[in-house]
A and B are shown apart, each in its own frame.
Chain A
Amino acid sequence: MNHPPPVAAQRTLLGDAARRFARNRLALVGLAMVTILLTMAVGADQIAPYAYDAADPARALQFPSGQHWMGTDEVGRDVYSRIVHGTRISLSVGLGVMVLALLIGVPLGLLAGLSGGPVDYAIMRLVEVFTAVPALMLALLLISVFGGGLANVILALGGVAWLDSCRLLRAQLLSLRERDFVLAARTVGASGARIALRHLLPNSIAPLIVAVTIGIPVAIFAEAGLSFLGLGINDPIPSWGKMVGNALSYMRVYWHLGVFPTLAIAVTMLGFTFLGDGLRDAFDTAMNR
């Protein structure tokens, strides 16, 4: 998130939102957490003391020590290094899924919200069909069809995640269409396409940004869940969910295998949730002025 420089005299939607955001302590904590996570993901090779797949059976299942801050796993890999590298997987999934969700959801939402009638009806029934099937099971089916691995996990989760942005954009367009400024634009002779592009779409962007930020932790959670079941990211690439799943049979003694990956998941979810809530509050009040 880039903060636009504070502008004293001119008040814009973005400026107002940025100022509200900066006053929200929890939002700033979220921003800091997400920044740290991004840094870890980008600089994983520099930050991690060991390679994520450097197994050393002689050093298997060691408790945390000065040498291995978070201990080692059942084949002797450094847990801390795997957690740092796992950030990459989690964030790629979180961001990748949301990009895909937007690529599918925005055109369909636009189509539904702008055209109305039978097109709208058809798209909404499609959304309903997808809603009636449990997301996890649909993702599992898609992964079974296409196979595991990072790209396919993103595809499968994105194939489920577009529902929210589609529904949101449609609802937003339907309510905006009735507003006075649209009537005003129509009165001065703006064409339908111009109204859609210059008036309706820009006013729908803020809620979409918020929905995306809130969708990121959901996607990260879903990937962790799939990998926990052993169906997501393939070995030896480290995924936090898979680390938790593997830990189940060891953690009665080797607690560190359960504690650290779950903490990583929890911290990431909290960070993105704080950031998303902060953005929503900032935009909400800025728009309701």
Chain B
Amino acid sequence: MARYLFGRLAGIVIVFWIVSVVIFLLMHAIPGGPYNEDKVPLTAEAKANYLRKYGLDRPLVEQYLLYMGNVLRGDFGVPFQSPTESVAGLIARTWPVSASLGLAALLVALPAGLLLGILAAARQNSWVDYLASATATLGLTVPNFVVAVWLVLLLAVQLKWLPTGGWGEWYHYIMPVTALALAPLALTARYTRTSILEVVRSDYVRTARSKGLSDRQILLRHTLRNAMIPLLTILAPQIPNLITGTIFIESIFRVPGLGKFFVSSILGRDYPMIMALLLLVAVLWSLVYLITDLLYTLVDPRVRLEGKKS
């Protein structure tokens, strides 16, 4: 176990290092820099000063080593687009907003999707089943910004139940969370239905039935527990994207989250911010995958970690 964990963590560090090099090279390959005259009216001297201050006048290799050295000491630099705070401060300020939206979406999607999936499986080929699969198809195919536009048109413009956007009150959560939750909800419903229908045909469910357990007991104790396993691997990869903010949703509903920085940093050649965001997402991805694999062995004792490496 310890050896497995060590191997995985070492792998993560290597992927990280490669990601940081690739992104560093790629972002410096973008024509223009943060202090181009067309963006900020600066004298040549002031520009040179800024470049020197942030080390942008040094060779790339040196810049990279300097940056990574600072990162290892916990210093992620200053965002060029908001020089009065630190990168860490900016992320600490905006990330909770995005994360709260993403978590709320997950908290809605998971139970709702489970319920829909269970109902659909229990009443296979009934109207509930058809409703569930129609929802699943729409949720999985229609992009979330399209859903968001429809929500605004329906709930805010037509019915006038909600403001078109904004942040700070509980009702500001309703539309963005709905738009974000639809896809994970659809995934959950679809996989719950399929895996319940598969598990129901297995021997141990037949055994449970023949020893006289009620349908409800079979569903809760036997079917659902095993049907949850594939769900884990399906939902986990959704989490990093959901909790780091979606630019489309945040710009449509005017949510002051982390999402917009994924685009504005690249547009503004905000090198420290680009690096920080990419490393943040890469960390989340690696952690989610590692935790999923570990959880897998908890819920399904048949899975051995050592064998999964390939």
Do A and B make up one complex? yes
A residues contacting B by CB (< 8 A) are 125, 128-129, 131-134, 136-137, 140-142, 144-145, 217, 221, 224-225, 228-229, 231, 244, 247-248, 251-252, 255, 258-259, 262, 265-266, 269-270, 273
A134 touches B262 (CB 8 A): yes
Number of B residues, CB within 8 Å of A: 45
Check A145–B137 contact: CB distance below 8 A: no
Nearest 6 A/B pairs, CB to CB: A132-B282, A262-B146, A144-B30, A269-B141, A273-B141, A266-B142
A76–B145 alpha-carbon span in the complex (Å): 25
- Contact partners of B149 in chain A: CB under 8 A: 244, 247-248, 251, 258, 262
Interface residues of B in 238-258 (CB under 8 A from A): 241, 244, 247-248, 251-252
| Chain A residues touching B, majority SS | helix
Query: Which B114-163 residues have a C-beta within 8 angstroms of A?
Result: 137-138, 140-143, 145-146, 149-150, 152-153, 156-158
B15 and A128 contacting across the interface, CB-CB below 8 Å:
yes
Asked if A270 meets B137 with Cβ closer than 8 Å, knowing A255-B157, A265-B143, the reply is: yes
Q: Which residues in B have some Cβ–Cβ distance to A below 8 Å?
A: 14-16, 18-19, 22-23, 26-27, 29-31, 137-138, 140-143, 145-146, 149-150, 152-153, 156-158, 164, 241, 244, 247-248, 251-252, 262-263, 266-267, 274, 277-278, 281-282, 285-286
A229 to B246, CA, bound (A): 12
Q: Are A273 and B137 in contact (CB under 8 A)?
A: yes
- Contacting residues, chain B, for A144 (C-beta < 8 A): 30, 266-267
Residues of B within 8 A of A131 (CB): 285
CB contact between B30 and one of A145, A221, A251, A273 (< 8 Å): that residue: A145
Interface centre among B27, B140, B164, B266 (most CB of A within 10 A): B266
Q: Are A248 and B252 in contact (CB under 8 A)?
A: yes
A262 to B147, CA, bound (A): 8
Within 8 Å by CB of A228, from B140, B145, B152, B157, lies B145
Task: Say yes or no: B143 contacts A133, CB within 8 Å.
Answer: no
Find out whether the CB atom of A225 lies under 8 angstroms from the CB atom of B143: yes
Find out whether the CB atom of B146 lies under 8 angstroms from the CB atom of A244. Answer: yes
Q: Please tell me if the beta carbons of B157 and A141 are within 8 angstroms of each other in the complex.
A: no
